[in-house]
Structure 1
Amino acid sequence: MKTCFHLFAFFVIAFGFTGGVTTAEEIEFNRDIRPILSDKCYFCHGPDSNTQEAGLRLDSHDGAVDVIESGELIDRVTSDDPDVLMPPPDSKLSLTGKDKAMLREWIDQGAQYKSHWSFESIPEAVALPMVGDPRWCRQTLDRFVFAKFSEAGFEPNRATAPLRWLRRAAFDLTGLPPSPSQIAIFEKAIANESTASESELDSLYNAAAQRMLDSPAFGEHMAVAWLDSARYADSYGYQSDKLNTQWPYRDWVVKAFNDNLPYNQFLTWQLAGDLLDEPTRDQRLATAFNRIHRLNNEGGAVYEEWRIENVADRVHTFGTAVLGLTLECCRCHDHKYDPIPSRDYYSLSAFFNSIDESGVYDRTEKVPCPSMLLPTEAQSRNLDEAKRKLAEAEHAYQRELTESRKRWDAWKSDSPEDFEIPDLRIALGFDRGFDNSLKEIYHPSQSDRSWTEMPELVDVTDSPIARLDMQLAADKGESTQPRQALQLDGERGVTTKGIEPLDRWTPFTVVISMRETKRSPLRSLIAHHTRGTDCGYNGWDLTMVDGHIESRMYRVWPGNAIGVRTVDPIPVDVWHQVSATYDGSSKAEGLKIFVGGKLLETTILRDELKKSCNVKVDHGGEFVIGQRFRSRGFAGGLIDDVRLYTRELTVPELQSLATGTSGERTQEYYWSAIDKPTRSALDALTSARKELVMAEEAMNEIPIMRETYQPRAAHLLARGQYDAPKNDETRVERNTPSGISFPFPAGAPRDRRGLAQWVTDPQHPLTARVAVNRLWGNFFSSPLVRTPENFGLQGELPTHPALLDWLARDFIDGGWNVKRFCKNVVLSATYRQDSAATEEQLKLDPTNRLLARGPAHRLAAEQIRDLALSASGLLNSEIGGPPVSPYQPGEDLWKESNSMSPPYKQSVGISLYRRSLYSVWKRTSPLPNMSAFDTTSREVCTVKRSRTNTPLQALVLLNDVQFVEAARVMAQGLMSIQDDDGRINEAFLRLTGRRCDHQETEILRTLFADELEYYSEHKQDAQNFVTFGDEKVDPGTDVASLAAFTTVCQTILNLDATIWKR
């Protein structure tokens, strides 16, 4: 009878319902009714206005009142007529008898609606429950747990053994096992447990917990779960899955946890660190959270399509990681269950929509923009020195300009009649005989290009050069033939070789005679100067956009670039001599555009440039006219006469080129073209600029958030399509979801900074609840809300609602202090319970929803690998830095899974043995020995890993080189212990955190004897076995004994007692 009562009480307390419904029991809408309606009705009668059948909405009182008061709701759900029954039979959904009884009783009690529990404000104060035995409670949170399981008829478990608690807490706080020395210290401290007072014992536990919290390993362990949610990886994903350099963000997360950065600041820095007043390096770096998503570089990828994909990823990640909501479906339609319409989704996306990015990346090693440089201390010193030298060179150049005025007067009076324009690098004329000269410099951009794919040549008589030729011929009384020009089709162009690309430190001038015959609003490539044709998106280019000429110098467009555009379009279908000059200053004001020798007014497009603008690719030419790989060429355009000068030409020189007459010998012309001391000073200035760029080039770089120069308009995109029609009706403004019922802060800026203020407001109903729920799940087998990714209507109810609210309020009031939260948990009586379950507990509460016993579950993949390394003594505790490449099975899984992937290069030396946090994380090819233990690919935000138990896991522990080597090294380190039992006991202690009992010792001793007998007779097998891995066997070691004891260590490593936390 007692068991029956316990069973009844358990379901009432843990799940919030009874087997039947009586009028004595009050129906609670969120607990009893909403789950029924959400699961069975909302798909057709929920918040999605586009799919509401019969205009009926059951997620609100106003929408449902008519069918409730008329009795139609009950009539429909209880009908025997399949044409009347709801849900209809073809929906494959049905209500149980209990569901129907619950709905009927709810209506009888007045059919009260309530807002969803997680959208209600967190109470300012949560009443503490009365408990029967307050002495059991060590922390305030224990009162809620005790009250819950007591109400269900359970008693708390006994306290777990001190060493078991130590191991449990060590893994939960540091991800590592306690070392033998730590165990010895703790054992010694609690040796007098029987005579110590309760407060003395609490002090010992408190001190042990504090040591773990102060350990750098704390941040490394806590970072793992957050990096899952941040979808951090060391590669870009998708089909090519190239490696990236995003590891500084991972190191920042580790540092943030170790520094105990308050969680509200932790979120604020990641969401809007770049928008804070005078942001620090760390605050800007933290915004990489919104840039470490997957990136595509597929051939033919549409930039805007993938930019929209990036924005959507940020919204989904923000929704899941921070709000605990599923927003993905809102991209195409109103949420089927939660009160979040599609328009609200795009209003939220508008906060992430104005980033100065392109949407894709190319096949070079460039970092997608916007980005920041992360110099080391030595690199910072080098950069400072380069800046000092540059300042000196600029001063010397200006001084030489002043001195040259004296020389100019003398030169002007004695200068020759000829007007020279020196520093011509190339001159391409497309007149007859062009084929012969072209073959000396022409270079196909693809290996299969043939000469028949050359652009066509057409006769022209009205180009600037043609007119000059005819004028000169007429002056001499001679006849002349029409010149020829390139007729471009947008696909084929002229690609040259042997012309060293110009970088951002070198002044230059490009002069092109051109004629636009087809005006296009799309950017059309006239010419570009780079190291190859893969996108050509580094170096310099000259483009046309709706008649406006653009001159740009960049490493990555748009965020790492300088560029200008003419204010007015040039006339179409008219020949123009266009000249683009650059002064080598790395500033947008150094770019100028002339037409016919006259300077045109321009606007600045971008004005920030870092590192070199010439990143080499493996194919293509350096100077290209009329076409670019994966870009739009100058379709229909005509090109005649192209010249490149390695100097910023002066206005007189440009006018001379345009008119064919001798230019005015101005002082500016003299400085630039003639005066050797001034030109030498300019050369020195150019060298100093190059030195500065080379100092930047060595620095690590990471993508971060930075707003565009002008906010980008955001629209509701029908079905989530990037190219959906956009108009005033689809336009949305930045705002937060109205269904959460928490308004945007008054006076807050409508940007990501304001969004961060909104989400970290102490009154926000979701943020703190979601955070403490996830943190709680790190310590116990499951969080209080067992759907941590979904606090919406389809998510589970919290097992302990009052406890969740108290934890959230205490978290906020305690300063969003993560370490304080963790310490309170590990010191609580709830956590310190033994995890052993009675038969009755397993029957009534198999998943420990009531927390009437301690946590027990398999360790995570990182913890298992790090445990093996730590116990063996191999673990390299170095913190931070680039990812390392540990052992990988097979020849090269990266190449086998992706032919575009770089080869896998295994690390050497102690780098092989770093913590798993630092192992390279390739999205399309994660490390197999980690995947076997349920790591994620981190392609998308993941806040809850699976926890499986498969034979493959045992095979990994027995055969993977990392674990075989760890077992052998541990065995080798223990060979100095002569006593077999002592050696076995020490191995057992290192791996399980406790000493083995008599039976376990007997079994392992027998195993060792059997294995020793075998390997003594099979020395070659022993030799092969102990040479697994890179760590060498100590000379003179008895390989038979070593192999036998390695097997013992492998066996212990495979035990449930080792790979489970209990």
Structure 2
Amino acid sequence: MEYVADRIHTTTTAFLGLTMQCARCHDHKFDPFTQRDYYRMFAFFNGVPDRVVGYNTKKAAAPFVAALTPTQEAEQARLRAALAVVDARLAERKAQAGADVARWEAGLSAEERVRLARAGAAVRFALDENQGAEVRCSVDAERKGKVVGTANWKPGKMGSALEFDGRTRVEAGEAVAFETGDKVSIGAWIFPREAGAMAVLSKIDDQAAYRGFDLIFESGKLAVHLVHRWPDQALKVITQTAMSLKEWHHVLATVDGSGKAAGVKIFVDGKAQALTVEKDNLSGSLKTAQPFRIGQRSASVPFKGLIDEVQFYRTELAAAEVAGLARGELVGGLMAVIDRPAAVRTVAETERVLRYFLETVDSESRRLTTERAAFAKQLAAGEEGVAMTMVMQETDEKRTAFLLRRGQYDLRGEAVDAGVPESLPPLPAGAPRNRLGLAQWMTQPGHPLTARVAVNRWWEGVFGVGLVETVEDFGTQGARPSHPELLDWLATELVRTGWDVKAILRLIVTSATYRQTTAATAELVASDPQGRLLARAPRFRLAGEVIRDQALAVAGLLSARVGGPSVKPYQPPGLWEDVSVERKYSYVLDTGEGLYRRSLYTYWKRTCPPPGMTTLDAPDRETCVIRRARTSTPLQALLLLNDPTYVEAARLLAERVLGASADADGKDVAACVRRLYQLVLAREPQAREAAVLARVQGEALARFRADPEAAKKLLAVGKTARGVGSDDIELAAWTTVASLLLNLDETITKP
């Protein structure tokens, strides 16, 4: 319920400039909104499923959609079209291959007949060692596994078996690995002793959104996971019937390579099981650096019981073949099938021979299969680099919303349908009563609020205060617009241009009003101290993000890269530990470019936001904040003087000035001061200003000559290496001057 209330607050405040949250417990005391209006809006968001996200920092809330660039979208469409063409050719070749199969069977050499008589699993861990802590693959001696924990050998279904006590597992490297588009079969004999979650076979990374695959025992049922990123890019099917405990069962899963739940089958004791599909949105690679494991995932759900005869096939076994495995037979001996007349072979036997011919003998099918694998690999690689963005979705079953008396969840009143406040225009004709319809309602051309609220916030961003000063409240308790006609015109322009944000911002910043000087006569200041009449250009303290980015930019440090993951720039140590559970999460400082990216990309932990931003009035993002406060405190000055970001920026700025001056040894103080002003303030210094900075530079020079260690300590701040050839004393003195200039009121204030 609180999630829904937060969404109403955020949506109505950000897009409509309303205080709808005031109508949660009773009718709004000032604006024309009833409590019923509130809960009708509540109904729009009541169908959004709320998932709990744990402390796994590598796992975000689902669902996701791919945020493809036009180039990526075109490339993926090309690859999918190419895959469709290849699949059609493979199907055509399969339909035409009957005569070729017959000729191939008739022409088999003696050597080929022997090899076909031995054909079988790609990987087989029989677990018949009965001693030691190493298990061997009976198909390929190079593939071995190591028992981690205590190796207890017991009588098995076929020979010996390995006992798993919750602390034992087998790790076998890359012995078993496959990708989304591969046809495979994987299974084992198991003797489960408990009904809880237990991994039978896996190659999965619990700490990386569960990427990989597994065959897992869940409450007596058997499940298969194929995961690129759980839960939004994953496939999961689970049997509908539970197995009995403390007896042997043969379990096996087949995958047809389609990446769809319909292409996965689970067999128990040789019989195909009815499945429940829990996830069916797999895309992307299954590749993970985690080893193939028997009896556990990478860090969870250990198996308790016995496991025997682990087998992996690089093909989708037929039902008859699986049934044979459950009877204790080994899949192989293809020659025995070929020796039978075609007329008396079963459908499964005919399919098996045809599949073998196409996959290993027929040059055209092998060429097409290789071509398909290349396209699939390109598609998976492209999907790997695609940015994902969180979205909302509706629950399968519609939830009923109720008017809650006094806002209490347990005091239900009448049921209400989704709808908009009666004092505002109705939903457009034909609009659905869901979030899509709400979006269509908010963006209809005649809506009295959405466009006005939007342009007012952009105006505030440029001028420091909105045409309506209370950007978060357009109700009766909000401020009156200072220029109502201008607000109306900008709103209509926004709609006319097709909601073109750049066009409106360009219109504002190229206007004669914005291009005025900030200078004002005493009479003008007296009559309009806040500049609300727009008779002069705005002047206000920059946002914390802009102050940091500006310092990095003038120092030549700011990265111009666009997009990418969040970064962790300088921050005092120990803050994350103080607010994390069991002090288990630490802030790991980035290196290289990550330290100098725009503040937009700074990693934001809401329980411990970046102190350099909050000191400069950035909100903590715990709740929706429309209008930032602007304060002026001693702590802000201390931050700008001592934070490693600004100290390092001052040093690099000093190096930049010294390197560009006419006299590289720094004796031409006037030239260096002039260059500093040009870089930081984009103007020439006045004579009085130049004299002050020259005096500061001289005093700093004398101080550092008397205390060289202080100079070295100052220059050691920051990860960027020192420039070659600079003198410590000289550079430290100019770093002090550069720091002073970065802290000027003129520097951190919008001119």
Q: What is the TM-score when the length of structure 1 is the normalising length?
A: 0.54
One of 759, 775, 783 as aligned partner of 2:458: 775
SS of 1:953's partner is: helix
Superposition pairs of residues 531-680 of structure 1, within 5 angstroms: 531-532=204-205, 537-542=210-215, 551-564=224-237, 578-594=251-267, 597-599=270-272, 606-616=279-289, 622-624=293-295, 643-646=310-313, 647-659=315-327, 666-672=349-355, 677-678=360-361
Deviation at 1:842, TM superposition (A): 6.9
* The 10-residue stretch of structure 1 (960-969 or 931-940) with the greater mean CA deviation from structure 2: 931-940
Deviation at 1:629, TM superposition (A): 6.6
Aligned to 2:39: 343
Deviation at 1:767, TM superposition (A): 1.0
Aligned to 2:17: 324
* The 10-residue stretch of structure 1 (949-958 or 889-898) with the greater mean CA deviation from structure 2: 889-898
State the alpha-carbon separation in 1 of the partners of residues 493 and 618 from structure 2.
Answer: 32
State the alpha-carbon separation in 1 of the partners of residues 620 and 567 from structure 2.
Answer: 16
Q: Residue deviations 1:955-977, cap 9 Å, x none?
A: 33333323322441353156327
Q: Is 2:161–2:306's contact at 8 Å kept on the other side of the alignment?
A: no
State the one-letter code of the partner of 2:661.
Answer: M
Instruction: Pick closer, same or farther for the CA change 1:484–1:426 going to 2, 3 Å.
Output: closer
One of 154, 162, 185 as aligned partner of 1:509: 185
One of 562, 579, 586 as aligned partner of 1:880: 562
Aligned to 1:900: 585
Aligned to 2:142: none
State the alpha-carbon separation in 1 of the partners of residues 491 and 9 from structure 2.
Answer: 23
State the one-letter code of the partner of 2:458.
Answer: L
Q: Is 2:203–2:212's contact at 8 Å kept on the other side of the alignment?
A: yes
1:975 aligns with 2:661: yes
State the one-letter code of the partner of 1:611.
Answer: G
SS of 1:555's partner is: strand
Q: Residue deviations 1:110-140, cap 9 Å, x none?
A: xxxxxxxxxxxxxxxxxxxxxxxxxxxxxxx
Deviation at 1:1019, TM superposition (A): 6.0
Q: Residue deviations 1:825-876, cap 9 Å, x none?
A: 445565456546777877786545555654221122233234334445x155
State the one-letter code of the partner of 1:968.
Answer: A
Instruction: Pick closer, same or farther for the CA change 1:902–1:988 going to 2, 3 Å.
Output: closer
State the alpha-carbon separation in 1 of the partners of residues 120 and 350 from structure 2.
Answer: 16
SS of 2:185's partner is: strand
Q: Is 2:544–2:613's contact at 8 Å kept on the other side of the alignment?
A: yes
Instruction: Pick closer, same or farther for the CA change 1:517–1:530 going to 2, 3 Å.
Output: closer
Aligned to 1:530: 203
Deviation at 1:760, TM superposition (A): 0.8
Aligned to 1:372: 66
Q: Residue deviations 1:865-900, cap 9 Å, x none?
A: 34334445x155735143686862656876787643
Aligned to 2:746: 1057
State the one-letter code of the partner of 1:587.
Answer: K
State the alpha-carbon separation in 2 of the partners of residues 309 and 621 from structure 1.
Answer: 43
State the alpha-carbon separation in 1 of the partners of residues 678 and 190 from structure 2.
Answer: 81
Deviation at 1:946, TM superposition (A): 2.7
Instruction: Pick closer, same or farther for the CA change 1:967–1:362 going to 2, 3 Å.
Output: closer
Q: Is 2:704–2:733's contact at 8 Å kept on the other side of the alignment?
A: yes
Q: Is 2:360–2:366's contact at 8 Å kept on the other side of the alignment?
A: no
Between the two structures, name the one with larger relative contact order (CA 8 Å, sep ≥ 6): 1
Instruction: Pick closer, same or farther for the CA change 1:443–1:951 going to 2, 3 Å.
Output: farther
Instruction: Pick closer, same or farther for the CA change 1:484–1:961 going to 2, 3 Å.
Output: closer
Superposition pairs of residues 824-835 of structure 1, within 5 angstroms: 824-826=507-509, 830-831=513-514, 835=518
Deviation at 1:1006, TM superposition (A): 3.6
State the alpha-carbon separation in 1 of the partners of residues 310 and 743 from structure 2.
Answer: 72
SS of 1:1056's partner is: coil
Q: Is 1:923–1:939's contact at 8 Å kept on the other side of the alignment?
A: yes
1:759 aligns with 2:442: yes
Q: Is 2:56–2:207's contact at 8 Å kept on the other side of the alignment?
A: yes
Deviation at 1:782, TM superposition (A): 2.0
Q: Residue deviations 1:560-585, cap 9 Å, x none?
A: 1334566x757989997554211334
SS of 2:616's partner is: coil
Q: Is 2:402–2:415's contact at 8 Å kept on the other side of the alignment?
A: no
1:1003 aligns with 2:696: no
Deviation at 1:1044, TM superposition (A): 4.3
Instruction: Pick closer, same or farther for the CA change 1:591–1:979 going to 2, 3 Å.
Output: closer
State the alpha-carbon separation in 1 of the partners of residues 248 and 723 from structure 2.
Answer: 79
SS of 1:774's partner is: helix
State the alpha-carbon separation in 1 of the partners of residues 491 and 691 from structure 2.
Answer: 50
State the alpha-carbon separation in 1 of the partners of residues 639 and 263 from structure 2.
Answer: 60
Aligned to 1:498: 172
Superposition pairs of residues 89-238 of structure 1, within 5 angstroms: none
Q: Residue deviations 1:172-202, cap 9 Å, x none?
A: xxxxxxxxxxxxxxxxxxxxxxxxxxxxxxx
Q: Is 2:206–2:298's contact at 8 Å kept on the other side of the alignment?
A: yes
1:961 aligns with 2:647: yes
Aligned to 2:334: none
Instruction: Pick closer, same or farther for the CA change 1:368–1:715 going to 2, 3 Å.
Output: same
- Identity, in percent, stands at 29
Higher strand share: 2
1:404 aligns with 2:101: yes
State the alpha-carbon separation in 2 of the partners of residues 535 and 1014 from structure 1.
Answer: 53
Aligned to 1:863: 546
SS of 1:867's partner is: helix
SS of 2:547's partner is: helix
Deviation at 1:1002, TM superposition (A): 4.0
Deviation at 1:616, TM superposition (A): 4.2
State the alpha-carbon separation in 1 of the partners of residues 359 and 715 from structure 2.
Answer: 72
Equivalenced residue count is 699
State the alpha-carbon separation in 1 of the partners of residues 521 and 744 from structure 2.
Answer: 22
Q: Is 2:637–2:743's contact at 8 Å kept on the other side of the alignment?
A: yes
SS of 2:551's partner is: helix
State the one-letter code of the partner of 1:645.
Answer: F
Q: Residue deviations 1:782-812, cap 9 Å, x none?
A: 2233443344566555455555444433433
One of 419, 424, 428 as aligned partner of 1:741: 424
State the one-letter code of the partner of 1:644.
Answer: Q
Q: Is 1:857–1:1060's contact at 8 Å kept on the other side of the alignment?
A: yes
Aligned to 2:141: none
State the alpha-carbon separation in 1 of the partners of residues 510 and 723 from structure 2.
Answer: 43
Q: Is 1:835–1:853's contact at 8 Å kept on the other side of the alignment?
A: yes
Q: Is 1:506–1:686's contact at 8 Å kept on the other side of the alignment?
A: no
Q: Residue deviations 1:44-70, cap 9 Å, x none?
A: xxxxxxxxxxxxxxxxxxxxxxxxxxx
Higher helix share: 1
Deviation at 1:907, TM superposition (A): 1.2
SS of 2:592's partner is: coil
Q: Greater CA radius of gyration, 1 or 2?
A: 1
SS of 1:1058's partner is: coil
Instruction: Pick closer, same or farther for the CA change 1:334–1:643 going to 2, 3 Å.
Output: farther
Instruction: Pick closer, same or farther for the CA change 1:887–1:548 going to 2, 3 Å.
Output: closer
State the one-letter code of the partner of 1:880.
Answer: V
Deviation at 1:757, TM superposition (A): 1.6
SS of 1:530's partner is: strand
1:702 aligns with 2:400: no
State the alpha-carbon separation in 2 of the partners of residues 558 and 1018 from structure 1.
Answer: 59
